[in-house]
Structure formats: structure tokens, C-alpha cells
Chains A and B, each alone.
Chain A
Amino acid sequence: MDYEAQLKLQAHLDGELPEDEAREVTNWLARDREAVALYGELRNTRQALVGHEVGVSLPESREFFWSKIEREIRLLEPPETSVRPAPLLSAWRRWLVPAGAVAAVASALLVGVFGETRIATVETAVDDPAAFTYHDYSSRTTLVWFSYPADEDPVDRTPGTVE
């Protein structure tokens, strides 16, 4: 007996088949011992399960129980925003979306250059074009780097004393 036939027997037992199909299954059961055996086994299993089903009683009324669940679901749902975008915002959005995408790509590149998971920013010092600032938010460290060649360093090789 194939799987589909077994399912059909189960459906018949559960009263899920339309009338004509149910009649066919009844006829099939009248002439097939294997089908009768399986049908009996399924019926016994069903009765055993129904007989041992644990009844659950609620301390409150059914309506009150479900209203509590409904309230919880409503609390979890984010409030709907009914503000419609202004026409000016729509115009800005056309510019902001590509700009945001460029910023996102730049951030990704920055993170890729300086580390895989670290969040950091780089900025150029205003009063010295040869200096840039790197800020690592993870370690809360700010580095101001003066990119002069060692010979031209305005700080004049500060640790030169170690040479």
C-alpha cells in the first residue's frame, strides 16, 4: 500500500473525505484485508490518543483569556505612522537615497581597511592638512597622525633621543 492510500484511509477515519471519495474507500475496505487492518490500527491509535488527552482548565473565562493574548500582541506591534511624506521630503529623498548609499559604501570600505569589525572614523585635521584623525569607537582611542616624512617632522623626531 502506498503512502497516498494510507493518507486516504486516515482522512476517511477523520471524516475529511468528500462523499464520493468516502464511498470509494468504504468499497476498498470491503475487499482489502490489509486496508482493513491498517484502518483498525489507525482507529485504535486515535481512540488511545483521545482517551489520554489531558484537559486544560483555565482559571478565567475563555473571553478574558483570549483578550489578554490580544492585548499582548497589540503591545508587541509597532504603532502605525500615519504621517504622509511631504512633497519636499520626496524631492529630498531622491538625493538622500544615493547619498546614503555612497556613505554606506564608504563606511564599509573604511571598516574593511582598518579592521573587520571595528567601528572607526577618519577625519582630516582642519589646521594641518598633513594631519588626520582616526577615531576607534571600540577602544575609545583617538589617534592624530602627522604624516610628515621623518626628516621634516615638525615635532623634530621627538624620540630621537633613542637613536
Chain B
Amino acid sequence: MLAVTSLAAPAPDLKLEALLVWGTNERTSPDANHKPVGPKLKKKLEELPLKWTNYFEVKRIRFDVSPSGSNKVPLSEKCELVVKNLGHSKIEVTVYGKGKQCATRTQELTKEDTLILGGNAPGATSWFAVLRRAE
């Protein structure tokens, strides 16, 4: 039994990617650093019941979460995600806005899954925090 336990490989870190996305009906972003989101994410966003036509990537952070560990992901000055690795591809995501806990969601995040958190932004635009497995 001990031999089996010692031989078993430790669970690998969960490699994740968080993207901050801006949704708008404008064709271009006023910030030249923003680039349109990739075709895969664009398709997913377009399949959601959202009213925006264009989505721009504002920030992208790659991070690892160790088994049973958690990681803070600051997406902006006032918004951050805390991601816990619950094992077996399951995560718990807590959204903090201005330091206040807004929502917590626990779900499986396989390579096919995408978790998108979003809300309204000024000028009839929107913000999105996209969480997915890093390739």
C-alpha cells in the first residue's frame, strides 16, 4: 500500500488563463493596445445572449493553481478573482469588486469549458473576465 502511495504521481498544477475582455459595438477600441479576441472565444461570446458585436482583449494572465491551493488573479485595480483548485478539474472562483465579494462559483473546468463573468460598463459597453484552461 505504501509502495503504491509513494509511486503515485502527485496531481499536477492546474494551468489556467484569465482574460479581461471589453465588449462593445464599436469596430475598434480607442486603446491601440487592445486586440480583438481570438476566433474561438469570439464564437463562444457570440453564442451567448449578449448584445455586443465586438470584443477586445484588455489583459491576459496565465497562472497555475496547485492541488488544493488557491491563487489571486488581479484583473484590474479593483477587480480580482480568487481561484481554488478543488481537484479533478474542479475549481471555485470568487469574484471581488472593490475588495467586496461579489459571487462565488464552483464548477468543473475541463479543457473544453469556459467560465465567463461579466457585467455592464459605461457607454453601453461590457466587461468580461474569461477563465479557461491554458493550452
Contact = CB atoms under 8 A, between A and B. Distances in A.
Contacts, number: 133
Given A144-B116, A157-B122, A160-B122, A134 B58 contact: no
A139 B121 contact: no
Contact of B119 (A113, A145, A163): A145
Contact of A118 (B47, B50, B113): B47
Interface in A38-73: none
Main secondary structure of the interface of B (DSSP, over half): strand
Contacts of B104: 127
A89 B98 CA distance: 52
Contact of A161 (B48, B50, B58, B113): B58
Interface of A: 113-115, 118, 125, 127-128, 131, 133-134, 136, 138-151, 153-163
B83 interface: no
A147 B104 CA distance: 15
Given A154-B102, A156-B79, A161-B31, 9 more contacts: A143-B48, A144-B103, A153-B127, A155-B97, A155-B119, A156-B97, A158-B119, A162-B56, A163-B123
B97 A162 contact: no
Contacts of B101: 127
B29 interface: yes
B110 to A, nearest CB: 8
B116 A125 contact: no
Given A141-B48, A142-B113, A158-B127, A163 B97 contact: no
A123 to B, nearest CB: 10
Contacts of B76: 155-156, 158-159, 161
Nearest to A145: B118
B38 interface: no
B119 A140 contact: no
Interface string B55-91: 0101000000000000000011011000000000000
